[in-house]
Structure 1
Amino acid sequence: MTDAATALPGPRTLVAQTVRVELGDVALEHLLPRQGALAWIRDGDGIVAWGETARIETTGPNRFADASAWWRRMTGHAVVRDSVDVPGSGLVAFGSFAFGPSSSALIVPSVVVGRRGDLAWVTTISDSALVTAPTLRVTDPPTPPRGAVFSDGSISGAGWESIVSDATAAIRAGELDKVVLARDLVADLAEPLDVRAPLHRLAGAYPNCWTFHVDGLFGATPEMLVRRERGLVMSRVLAGTIRRTGDDEHDLALAASLARSSKDLEEHEYAVRSVADALEPSCSSMNVPEAPFVLHLPNVMHLATDVAGVVDPDHEAASALDLAAALHPSAAVGGTPRAVALDLIDRLEPMDRGRYAGPVGWIDADGDGEWGIALRSAEYDGTRVRLFAGCGIVADSDPEAELAESQAKLVPIRDALSD
């Protein structure tokens, strides 16, 4: 594919102006309009945006490189006046990238509102002109989803169990160590989705996850692919899952069993090693914990490891987007060895993942940013919503248990869409 940045008629000069504002206790998601909303929120902090000043769509194996080159070109010609000067202020783009070589997008909004603790700001972005910051107000309540009817997507539950069996056979035959298989579920609504409604529900129900919406993809991911901030880099790796029961005492016992599970620890080790190996060339130092911790979410518990590092200042391709490209797909969403796992996914999965399990997040003009993995997510178009879930398969995986795990992972979006 030709570098998408070279297809533009000429460099544009974007002007971004950031000023501090007072938001009080107004939730960021309550500022979003129905159309053109972009969101990245965790525990009340983050950035939301609307409007579109610039955009690039990329496809193919060079989709990350094309988008990164375009962003460097845009930031190189931009005028930024930023009195706040924190990651996420100034010139910002939101992005959503496909798992495979299909359509991906990087979007520069017109208005961005951000919050970090007690600090809040608004950024306006336009072509070659300063724009007065808008008056921020709580928008009208979103229209709740109505009449959701759920049905099998590309394959039935029984059919997916059969695919899991085929995968475990390939692993036991020595073809690979791990593969992540995904399935989809379809929801048909009575009227077109107002995406702000599930965003409100997800942000409230899963405050420790990153609630997002970019270009028709929304969700609440528990997994941070990579955060780059002031030269520091972090990746949260999740692999190994057990469903919660709602009984606190029982769940504590389940968490202990998860932490001792050889099957889950093996799956987790593959994912952590793939992330550490991908980050190492861009970092001057790294910290990889020896053992995972158990991350408790309302619906499931995961084995989790936070891999941290210091970005090598001499490394040319070390923006948050560059690092996300280097990491994708990690063993947490692809498998080990990567190439063999991706080939098996192509052979076994009867669907196109679209942007499910691809990087989603944002980047600023300094190269800082946050990119999560688009898990606990769905794509929508009008009244139809396509939900996704995936599970890591290793030699000891049980197809029935993996189906149950995938159903647990569908719960956040199912609940967000239900009456």
Structure 2
Amino acid sequence: MESTRGDEVAAGEPCVVQGCAIEMPSLRSALELFDAPRTGWVAPTTSVVAGGTTATLTATGACRFEKLRTDARALFRRVDTPDTLPDGARPRLFGGFSFTGTERDTNRTMENEPWAAYPDAHFVLPAVQVSVTSDGTWLTTTALGADAKMKASERLTRWRDRLTAIPEFDRGNPPGVQSQQHTPTLPGWRDGVESVIDRIDRGAVKKIVLAKALSARLDRELSVVDVLARLGESYPGCYRFLFEPAGGATFFGATPERLVSLRGRTVDTEALAGSIGRGETDDEDDWLEQELRKSDKNNHEHDLVVDTIHRQLDSVTDSVETGSRTVRKLSTVQHLQTPIRGTLDGDRHVLELVERLHPTPAVGGLPPVGATRAIEELEGFDRGWYASPVGWMDADGNGTFVVAIRSAVAKATEVRLFAGAGIVSDSNPDEEWDELRLKFRPILDEL
């Protein structure tokens, strides 16, 4: 397989961009062709598969958002993009953040630490990018250095020819699950929920989203590209993502939750909190929906998220509008959902909004600092990039980030899945455990 690897970033070097329209290839097959690092991003407006790296940006610690914002602006000032490329085909940085910026245990080994290749913040400018946009399908290549124009052009010609002749790879069957292990087990989960409720009753916190991990050993090696394709069939309305650093495990998922989109001065986000299962019949499903709509516990949990997003956006917007509360129906679960749109008070970078909004009360809790501290004390495993912001940003500071739930990290025959439940004062540990089983199913069913 021909390498997609590009050039490592060096200070001051120009970055040249080449692009052309192409016939739409199979995105799944294109992703199969690419070497790591590779990226997959499937969204309602633009879908991208990418391979190799021309530039890599990383950051650690509490200032990771600010450092990435500064470094991204500096990089894009050196990027020479043709005016003929439509917006959706222009170079983007793809990547994400860890749930917290606190230093992780360096003694953990690769065998028990799937996040070894995932820093607190990590973004790549791909060497080769295929974008499916409203303006058609485009191939974009990038290169650095004095001969960057020649390298980008050669890369464009080579990959245009390869993608034009790309075959449709046969999709394999699910690998099968040999064994499963929960962290924590049910007794430990009950203890954790009771500890959270005790903290709420004492007034230390209002809500904590407690997560658990499910480690699965597979019968044979996993094709994450196949899983991502099957998730698109089962969850067509979700954002699908795949991040695979060179030599590391693959992080992937199909999330219903967008953290934020920024275009110009228009901010779009939503509150997604409060859950119930799906019915086996239409009548049962309608009954469950009504139970969700009138549930005091779920509406309280949802109100906390809506109110928090408003407060987080108030100081940077001229106006914030809240849409009607609806029910978002997915294959295994339905959620309360409220769209929120704001108009910024000036020009801002999408990462500034990401920093303000993460973690939302739907994946962290309230107040954020106290909830995050409790999560680290109670969960017993490293969330890594689970429930964190992942997405893209461009040269104008626009971008889209989602909350990386309904996700897993995989390498060879080992997969670790994650799911969380919002715990408030009247939460029932066994009911929350059952809810988590529903949230594991999107990934587990595909294994």
Q: What is the TM-score with the length of structure 1 in the denominator?
A: 0.91
Partner of 1:3: none
Rounded to whole Å, the distance in 1 between the matches of 2:14 and 2:277 is 50
Rounded to whole Å, the distance in 2 between the matches of 1:293 and 1:403 is 24
Amino acid paired to 2:225: R
Rounded to whole Å, the distance in 1 between the matches of 2:74 and 2:131 is 24
Of 246, 250, 260, 2:280 maps to 246
> Could you say what secondary structure the match of 1:74 adopts?
helix
Kept after mapping to 1: 8 A contact 2:26/2:168: no
Rounded to whole Å, the distance in 2 between the matches of 1:150 and 1:360 is 29
Alpha-carbon deviations, 1:338-383, whole Å to 9, x = none?
A: 1111121122111110110000111111222110000000012222
Partner of 1:14: 15
Partner of 1:64: 65
Deviation at 1:106, TM superposition (A): 0.5
Kept after mapping to 2: 8 A contact 1:89/1:364: no
Partner of 2:207: 178
Check 1:82–1:246 CA distance in 2 against 1; reply closer, same or farther (3 A cut).
farther
Structure 1 gaps, min length 5: 1-7
Alpha-carbon deviations, 1:163-212, whole Å to 9, x = none?
A: 11211122122221111000000111233322101111111110100010
Of 278, 285, 293, 2:326 maps to 293
Amino acid paired to 1:333: V
Rounded to whole Å, the distance in 1 between the matches of 2:344 and 2:21 is 29
Partner of 1:141: 170
Amino acid paired to 2:123: L
Does 1:282 pair with 2:283? no
Percent pairwise identity:
34
Rounded to whole Å, the distance in 2 between the matches of 1:167 and 1:178 is 8
Partner of 2:298: 264
Rounded to whole Å, the distance in 2 between the matches of 1:246 and 1:9 is 57
Kept after mapping to 1: 8 A contact 2:86/2:135: no
Deviation at 1:82, TM superposition (A): 4.2
Does 1:198 pair with 2:227? yes
Kept after mapping to 2: 8 A contact 1:19/1:82: no
Deviation at 1:401, TM superposition (A): 0.5
Kept after mapping to 1: 8 A contact 2:94/2:125: yes
Partner of 1:397: 427
Partner of 1:311: 344
Kept after mapping to 2: 8 A contact 1:177/1:336: yes
Partner of 1:4: none
Check 1:82–1:243 CA distance in 2 against 1; reply closer, same or farther (3 A cut).
farther
Rounded to whole Å, the distance in 2 between the matches of 1:144 and 1:187 is 17
Rounded to whole Å, the distance in 2 between the matches of 1:13 and 1:169 is 57
Partner of 2:122: 105
Partner of 1:410: 440
> Could you say what secondary structure the match of 1:158 adopts?
helix
Deviation at 1:115, TM superposition (A): 1.9
Check 1:282–1:14 CA distance in 2 against 1; reply closer, same or farther (3 A cut).
farther
Kept after mapping to 2: 8 A contact 1:39/1:48: yes
> Could you say what secondary structure the match of 1:33 adopts?
helix
Rounded to whole Å, the distance in 1 between the matches of 2:83 and 2:355 is 28
Q: What is the TM-score with the length of structure 2 in the denominator?
A: 0.85
**Equivalences for residues 96-135 of structure 1 within 5 A:** 96-101=96-101, 103=119, 104-117=121-134, 119-127=136-144, 128-129=148-149, 130-131=152-153, 132-133=156-157, 134-135=159-160
**Equivalences for residues 130-169 of structure 1 within 5 A:** 130-131=152-153, 132-133=156-157, 134-135=159-160, 136=163, 137-138=166-167, 140-169=169-198
Alpha-carbon deviations, 1:62-93, whole Å to 9, x = none?
A: 2222222221111011111142432x321111
Does 1:213 pair with 2:242? yes
Amino acid paired to 2:326: F
Deviation at 1:322, TM superposition (A): 2.5
Kept after mapping to 1: 8 A contact 2:127/2:141: yes
Aligned-pair RMSD on alpha carbons?
A: 2.0
Rounded to whole Å, the distance in 2 between the matches of 1:209 and 1:12 is 38
Partner of 1:48: 49
Alpha-carbon deviations, 1:106-125, whole Å to 9, x = none?
A: 01111112223463222112
Deviation at 1:29, TM superposition (A): 3.0
Check 1:144–1:85 CA distance in 2 against 1; reply closer, same or farther (3 A cut).
same
Greater CA drift, 195-204 or 154-163: 154-163
Deviation at 1:219, TM superposition (A): 0.2
Rounded to whole Å, the distance in 2 between the matches of 1:61 and 1:245 is 43
Greater CA drift, 350-359 or 11-20: 11-20
> Could you say what secondary structure the match of 1:60 adopts?
coil
Partner of 1:227: 261
Q: How many residues align?
A: 403
Rounded to whole Å, the distance in 1 between the matches of 2:56 and 2:310 is 32
Rounded to whole Å, the distance in 2 between the matches of 1:311 and 1:46 is 26
Partner of 2:389: 359
Kept after mapping to 1: 8 A contact 2:279/2:288: no
> Could you say what secondary structure the match of 2:18 adopts?
strand
